[in-house]
Each structure stands twice: as C-alpha cells, then as structure tokens.
C-alpha cells in the first residue's frame, strides 16, 4: 500500500488546477464563441451535417439563465469567461485528508481480465481527516480517476468538508482499462457497476482502512466523456447502489450498441428514461459549445450536445432532480469549465444529505 504524503498540495500544483482532469479531457483551443457550434473533436463515425432544426435546438442554449451557486433544478448556461473556483486552492488552516494509492491486476479480475492481455489499474482513495475509523462513510466513485490529477478533488473536499458544505466523504478515483476503456464505459449494462462493487470497493476498504456506506443515497458517481456515460449507467442499472450522478460532456451517443441497447447510450433519452418509472437519482450534467459532433445531425446519433439536451429534457419530463449546464466557448470535458463548476455541482448533488459522524 502506498501512502501519498500530500506533497501534491503545493502551491505550484494548485496553480495548475485549471488543467483537464482525465486522460480523455481535451484542451479548448478553438476560436472564440459564435452562436453556431464548430465541429469539435470527432469520435465514432462522422454523421451527416446538422440540420437547421438541429442548429436551432442548440442555439436556444445561448438564452439559458446563468449558472450560479444555490440554484434549484433546471437548465443553465455558463461562460464564455471562466475562473478557477476558490474551493480548490489549498488553505493552510484547513485539515488535509490523505490519499492512498494501490494497483489492481487485471489477471485477478473476473469482470475485466484484459481483452488485449493483462494490464494494471491504479486506484486512488481520498480519506478526509474527519473520517471516524470503523464508521461507514459516503463516497464519490469516479471513472478515469477523475479528480486525482493535481489532487483537485481532494483539495475541494478538504475545503468544503471543513466549511460544512459537504459531509465528510471518501473519493474512490479508478483508472480506466486502457485499450478496453470504451468497452468498459460505453457498454450500456450493469457490468461496470458490479465490477466496482465486487472487486474495487472491497480493496478500497482493505487498503485504506475505511468502510464505504451501502446506502445508495450516500454514493455518487463522477466522470467525463465516456466516463460520464458509465457514471450514469452505474446509477441507472443499480439505483440500489448509487443515487447521485455528475457528468461532464457525457457520451450519451451511439458508440457501443447491443441487443438491449441498439442505439447505445442514445437509448437513455430515446427510450430508457421516457419509458421507465422514475428512479431515485439526482443528476448534474454539462455539455460544451464545441463538444464532440457539435456540427453533425442528431439523426447520426453522434452529436454530444443534442444527446445531452435530450437527456436533460427526458429527466425533466419524468420529474427528476437535475441540473443541466451548457458551457459557452468551451470544448469537450474542458478543464476550465470543470475547474469553475465542480464545487457548485458537488454542493447541488449532496444537498440535503446529513452531515454524519466526524472527528
């Protein structure tokens, strides 16, 4: 077991917190915003160009009210100017948690032994200084180890827990399976959630000396791009395990189709959410002006903006608690958007959750 001594909390690293969080995050170097989206990076087959109806749907996002703290459910916009949230800067007077890291061997996994041979998966676990040993704590489970880079999520949690804006919670930041990342994340099934439950969380409890709550109301998933898709998938297929979901540029498009999901994750807006009884989920979701497939037609099922618009509309129609944020002048999983909005998103998602025991 490797203990991170939190040297990563230096001022130099904190100054870099506006960088992207995960391996698939991409810098936004595109031209200044316009009312029409640019094509954005392309994943999957190129679709037909966006229709006038598609562009009109996207253009309406520019008129959404501005996003801010303490807002209720609904649709909002942010940007085009961004600034890192102060909650991610290290404060000397705030107690600092620890980060414990360990490695999982795919050869030991019954779920993902490695389609291209064995591989290693790194897991980082944040434990707040207020954690009471022997007690069950709420937890964030992130795909692509979201939040681990530059210890962004631990820094935010240190500050927000100390300020009593969030309960004392763990963060389990799980690396992806490398070449099999899309298979893990874009497959619309219960498998990844069951892998985390059966193989990752028991190791977390053993290596970090903690207990992860079994209460789904005390568990949140987090991710961006395909990691955002799997974050929602985990809660959708296992609301007995997760009630809170946070996604950036969620890949709710048709990347991995199957018999039960012929249109991949596009099925969420098309059939799953509209045709299913509402589940006890609370969702925060973001998409950006220059996101993937932004200039392609909805008919191609590869336009990230329209997929997220339709997801938000489906959630609203079924009465879910949700916030949808459109990021102007920003790209796919844009670091500057995450850096500004993550604390506010966390506060919204954990609203109403009891503080629980602390030391």
Mean pLDDT of 145-173: 96
Question: What is the pLDDT at residue 44?
Answer: 54
pLDDT at 64 over 60: yes
Question: What is the pLDDT at residue 43?
Answer: 56
Q: Is residue 167 part of a domain?
A: yes
196: domain CATH number is 3.40.50.1820
71 or 25, which is more confident: 71
pLDDT at 100 over 50: yes
CA distance 119 to 183: 15
Mean pLDDT of 39-46: 52
Question: What is the pLDDT at residue 18?
Answer: 36
Question: What is the pLDDT at residue 183?
Answer: 97
Tell me whether the omega of the peptide bond preceding residue 80 falls within 30 degrees of 0, making it cis: yes
pLDDT at 9 over 70: no
- pLDDT confidence band for 46 (50 / 70 / 90): low
Number of domains in the chain: 1
* Long-range contacts of the stretch 17-20 (C-beta < 8 A, 24+): 17/84, 17/88, 17/89, 17/150, 17/152, 17/155, 17/339, 18/82, 18/84, 18/335, 18/336, 18/339, 19/149, 19/150, 19/335, 20/149, 20/333, 20/334, 20/335, 20/338
Show the tokens assigned to 126. Answer: 């944040």
pLDDT at 347 over 90: yes
Quote the percentage of the chain above a pLDDT of 90. 84
Question: What is the pLDDT at residue 311?
Answer: 98
Given a contact cutoff of 8 angstroms between Cβ atoms, the answer to whether 226 and 255 are in contact is: yes
What is the greatest pairwise CA distance in the chain?
Answer: 58
Which is nearest to 80 in space by CA: 297, 246, 288, 339?
288
**Mean of pLDDT over the chain:** 89
Answer yes or no: pTM beyond 0.85.
yes
Q: Is residue 281 part of a domain?
A: yes
Q: Is residue 357 part of a domain?
A: no
- In angstroms, what is the C-alpha Rg of the chain? 19
Please state, as a whole number, how many other Cβ atoms lie within 10 Å of the Cβ of residue 100: 19
Mean pLDDT of 165-185: 97
Given a contact cutoff of 8 angstroms between Cβ atoms, the answer to whether 153 and 85 are in contact is: no
- pLDDT confidence band for 47 (50 / 70 / 90): confident
Which is nearest to 124 in space by CA: 96, 95, 144?
144
Q: Is residue 355 part of a domain?
A: no
CA distance 296 to 290: 12
Question: What is the pLDDT at residue 212?
Answer: 98
In this structure, of 107-116, 237-246, 348-357, the range with the lowest mean pLDDT score is: 348-357
Given a contact cutoff of 8 angstroms between Cβ atoms, the answer to whether 320 and 278 are in contact is: yes
- Name the β-bridge partners of 261: 258
State the residue range of the domain holding 228. 2-28+37-349
**What are the tens digits of pLDDT across the range 274-314?**
999 999 999 999 999 999 999 999 999 999 999 999 999 99
Question: What is the pLDDT at residue 359?
Answer: 76
pLDDT at 28 over 80: no
- pLDDT confidence band for 20 (50 / 70 / 90): very low
Q: Is residue 354 part of a domain?
A: no
B/e letters for 235-257, b = 16+ CB within 10 Å, e = fewer, are bbbbeebbbbbbbbbbbbbbbbb
CA distance 357 to 136: 9
Quote the percentage of the chain above a pLDDT of 70. 87
* Residue 110 main-chain phi, psi, to 5 deg: -85, -15
Question: What is the pLDDT at residue 218?
Answer: 98
Question: What is the pLDDT at residue 358?
Answer: 80
* Residue 135 main-chain phi, psi, to 5 deg: -105, 150
Question: What is the pLDDT at residue 309?
Answer: 98
No. of H helices and E strands in the chain? 11, 12
């Amino acid at each position: 077991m490797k203990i991170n001594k939190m040297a990563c909390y230096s001022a130099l690293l904190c100054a870099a917190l506006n960088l992207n969080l995960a391996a698939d995050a991409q810098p936004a170097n595109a031209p200044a915003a316009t009312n029409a989206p640019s094509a954005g990076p392309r994943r999957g087959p190129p679709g037909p160009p966006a229709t006038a109806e598609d562009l009109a749907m996207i253009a309406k996002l520019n008129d959404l009210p501005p996003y801010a703290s303490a807002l209720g459910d609904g649709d909002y916009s942010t940007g085009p100017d961004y600034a890192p949230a102060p909650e991610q800067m290290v404060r000397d007077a705030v107690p600092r948690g620890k980060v414990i890291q360990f490695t999982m061997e795919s050869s030991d996994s019954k779920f993902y032994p490695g389609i291209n041979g064995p591989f290693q998966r790194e897991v980082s676990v944040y434990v707040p200084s207020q954690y009471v040993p022997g007690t069950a704590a709420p937890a964030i489970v992130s795909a692509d180890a979201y939040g681990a880079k530059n210890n962004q999520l631990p820094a935010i949690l240190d500050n927000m827990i100390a300020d009593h804006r969030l309960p004392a919670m763990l963060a389990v930041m799980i690396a992806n399976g490398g070449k099999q990342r899309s298979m893990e994340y874009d497959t619309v099934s219960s498998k990844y959630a069951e892998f985390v439950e059966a193989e990752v969380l028991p190791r977390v409890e053993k290596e970090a000396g903690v207990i992860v709550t079994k209460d789904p109301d005390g568990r949140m998933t987090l991710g961006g791009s395909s990691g955002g898709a799997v974050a929602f998938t985990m809660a959708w297929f296992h609301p007995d395990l997760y009630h809170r979901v946070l996604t950036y540029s969620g890949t709710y498009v048709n990347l991995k189709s199957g018999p039960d999901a012929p249109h991949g994750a596009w099925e969420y807006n098309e059939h799953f959410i509209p045709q299913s009884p509402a589940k006890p989920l609370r969702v925060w979701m973001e998409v950006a002006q220059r996101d993937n497939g932004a200039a392609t037609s909805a008919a191609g099922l590869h336009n990230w903006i329209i997929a997220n618009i339709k997801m938000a509309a489906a959630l609203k129609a079924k009465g879910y608690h949700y916030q949808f944020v459109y990021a102007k002048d920003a790209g796919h999983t844009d670091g500057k958007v995450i850096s500004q909005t993550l604390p506010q998103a966390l506060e919204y998602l954990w609203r109403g959750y009891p503080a629980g025991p602390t030391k």
